[in-house]
Amino acid sequence: MFLPPHYIRPAFQGCAAGLLLAMAGCGPSLPDTRGGALPVQETTAPQAAVAVPSEAAQADASLARHSAKAFAPAPMPASMLQREALPAGYRAEPREQYQNLPDNPIHSVAQAPVSTFSADVDTGAYANVRRLLNQGSLPPEGAVRLEELVNYFPYDYALPGDGSPFGVTTEIAPSPWNPHTRLLRIGIKASDRAVAELAPANLVFLVDVSGSMDRREGLPLVQSTLKLLVDQLREQDRVSLVVYAGESRVVLEPTSGRDKAKIRNAIEQLTAGGSTAGASGIQLAYQMARQGFIKNGINRILLATDGDFNVGISDFDRLKQMAVEQRKSGVSLTTLGFGVDNYNEHLMEQLADAGDGNYAYIDNLREARKVLVDQLGSTLAVVAKDVKLQVEFNPEQVSEYRLLGYENRALKREDFSNDKVDAGEVGAGHTVTALYEIVPKGEPGWLEPLRYGPAPAQPQSSIKSDELAMLRVRYQTTQGGSSRLIERPILAAQQHGKLAQASDDLRFAAAVAAFAQQLKDARYTGDFGLKDTVALARGAKGEDRFGLRGEFVQLVELAQSLQTQAAPADQPAPAGQALSRRE
């Protein structure tokens, strides 16, 4: 269930430069002074950059078609009309908030042979990075979560065939950016379900109607998005609508999915204005979810907001704890991110994680359709809970390794077999991809040898010498009970001698992983630059039925042009270095 071809268009049509750029809403917005902000570890702002093409014009046209009424553009401030005349080095200061975590460290197999992490099916970081690039800004490092960029794309993984909820695929090939390392790709694929096969759904639309949502990318896009989902409702489904601004209120009591006109009318009547009491809205939404609760059904809140909570509970940890406590009632929380300038991405991603839901960022109606129409089964129906992955490397085959991404999903080794430790949920049709960069035994690695360190661990006699690693996947069924375990040996014989011999999926995932690293500090990608990433991705597009891989190639090319503009005029940007950001 992915985006049909007629919804895919080049991501960079529309306005090009100058006055047309400003009138169409392209480029980074100037600071917004409405509302407050939730403190997090780090607040990073994207820079202003040169004029580049954008999707804004298409989004306007789509909103006019799908909304009950078209929204006339607001008058453009003089500062926006003169944006291209800003002094060199100008950086807009929108209040977007991200969590900036360091990359996973390199591990010696002799000292730490086991790597454990939680599954993650979120894809919001990719859509958000796409939005920032289309606006002409290089994304802040905290916005780039490598695993969410990689997991945005569909891959041809094996379906389950042994009664488990998902199939497991592994593949190994030379790394494109380091001749001494290999990439190990691990993929799991959940069985898919058509919407008609889903259990009855009790959905609560929780909509932020505060003043910060009073913009084209805010409430108007939320309304159009939710109406796309209304079209998919069945008679056995129930929908409630709760809104919050300075206070929260119920707009629509639990209503059957057959009453689509009534639900659409309630959505269309929403208007934005006021402060943001998000916590009270979440509490009321859980109350409505309990009121319409369907036993053995899907009970889920869909929170649509920019995350700018400034009234009532605004403490990050208390909001997460609220979601953790409420998920015990059988109600999950999915977050749908909207808006620009004051977007609190950190809160949105972490709330979904705490609420046993998933996180998506909606930057246009095509993304809305992808998440809430074409992938509705994945978004709503969970096929496995608390999914954890663990890889134990064989010291006879591998000397060092690093996990690419999943920094905020890391688990302790002992957490793997502890069913009380929460982990990620996998929905129907979801794919999860994990990449390890490994150093084969005998190849030069990243770590200097220890003078007084412990001797390498000796393999047990029962271990086959051709095993590169052992993959373990632990999960719980949706009915609960004790967790179940899947084990798969990863054989050295699975390695491809050349990268060109690897599957399109591995090579494309490697290109996306390279791009994510290049958007950050590129410390491990060496001289492998954006031009190389473009070539790798273009050669691995494969069938690309939905055009998503072609769009990715365009995004990398756009980032390459922004990198060139950000470099000093007398010094071209080195191909292998991280993208520059003006200070």
* Helix or strand (DSSP H, E) at 321: helix 316-327
* Residue 2 belongs to a domain: no
CA–CA gap between residue 20 and residue 7 (Å, rounded): 25
Q: Do 359 and 385 belong together in one domain?
A: no
CA–CA gap between residue 466 and residue 202 (Å, rounded): 50
Instruction: Give the strand pairing for 424-427 and 382-393.
Output: antiparallel
Q: Do 403 and 514 belong together in one domain?
A: yes
pLDDT at 457: 55
Q: Do 147 and 283 belong together in one domain?
A: no
Residue 531 or 51, more confident: 531
Q: Do 276 and 301 belong together in one domain?
A: yes
- Among 343, 363, 380, the domain boundary falls at 380
Q: What's the number of domains the chain is made of?
A: 2
CA–CA gap between residue 253 and residue 247 (Å, rounded): 17
The model's confidence at residue 277, banded by pLDDT at 50, 70 and 90, is: low
CA–CA gap between residue 461 and residue 87 (Å, rounded): 68
The pair phi, psi for residue 252, each rounded to 5°, is -140, 120
Does residue 37 carry a pLDDT above 70? no
Instruction: Write out the two tokens for 148.
Output: 């969410």
Quick: pLDDT tens for 74-89: 333 333 323 333 333 2
pLDDT at 35: 36
Of 12-26, 202-216, 252-266, 543-557, the poorest mean pLDDT is in 12-26
- The DSSP bridge partners found for residue 188 are 168, 432
Does residue 581 carry a pLDDT above 70? no
Q: Do 312 and 245 belong together in one domain?
A: yes
Quick: pLDDT tens for 55-73: 444 444 444 444 433 333 3
The model's confidence at residue 361, banded by pLDDT at 50, 70 and 90, is: very high
Domain range holding 477?
103-191+381-445+464-542
Instruction: Identify the sign of the CA torsion 141, 30, 371, 55.
Output: negative
CA–CA gap between residue 459 and residue 466 (Å, rounded): 12
Residue type, 502: A
Q: Do 255 and 241 belong together in one domain?
A: yes
CATH number at residue 248: 3.40.50.410
Does residue 105 carry a pLDDT above 60? yes
Contact at 8 Å (CB) between 409 and 117? yes
Does residue 431 carry a pLDDT above 90? yes
CA–CA gap between residue 253 and residue 288 (Å, rounded): 8
Q: What is the dihedral of CA 498, 504, 505, 510, to 10 degrees?
A: 50
Residue tagged 């057959």 (tokens):
258
* Residue 491 belongs to a domain: yes
Hey, how many other C-beta atoms are within 10 angstroms of the C-beta on 563? 24
Rounded to the nearest 10 degrees, the angle between the axes of helix 316-327 and helix 345-354 is 30
Q: Do 216 and 169 belong together in one domain?
A: no
Of 36-50, 288-302, 310-324, the poorest mean pLDDT is in 36-50
CATH number at residue 161: 2.60.40.1230
Coil, strand or helix at 493:
helix
Q: Do 395 and 538 belong together in one domain?
A: yes
Contact at 8 Å (CB) between 230 and 311? no
Q: Do 359 and 282 belong together in one domain?
A: yes
* Residue 144 belongs to a domain: yes
Half-sphere exposure of residue 114: CA atoms within 13 angstroms, side-chain side = 10
Instruction: Identify the sign of the CA torsion 311, 312, 317, 319.
Output: negative
* Residue 66 belongs to a domain: no
pLDDT at 270: 95
* Residue 529 belongs to a domain: yes
The model's confidence at residue 304, banded by pLDDT at 50, 70 and 90, is: very high
pLDDT at 276: 64
* Residue 414 belongs to a domain: yes
Does residue 194 carry a pLDDT above 80? no
CA–CA gap between residue 357 and residue 379 (Å, rounded): 8
Using alpha carbons only, give the angle 145, 151, 154 rounded to the nearest 5 degrees: 155
Q: Do 159 and 269 belong together in one domain?
A: no
Cβ partners under 8 Å of residue 553, min gap 6:
534, 537, 538, 541
Q: Do 326 and 218 belong together in one domain?
A: yes
What's 390-419 look like in SS3?
A: EEEECCCCEEEEEEECCHHHECCHHHCCCC
Cβ partners under 8 Å of residue 45, min gap 6:
91, 92, 93, 94, 95, 96, 140
Does residue 22 carry a pLDDT above 80? no
Residue type, 481: G
* Residue 289 belongs to a domain: yes
Quick: pLDDT tens for 132-148: 999 999 999 999 999 99
CA–CA gap between residue 443 and residue 293 (Å, rounded): 57
Hey, how many other C-beta atoms are within 10 angstroms of the C-beta on 486? 18
Instruction: Identify the sign of the CA torsion 291, 196, 365, 189.
Output: positive
* Residue 285 belongs to a domain: yes
pLDDT at 563: 83
Hey, how many other C-beta atoms are within 10 angstroms of the C-beta on 430? 28
pTM, whole model, 2 decimals?
0.81
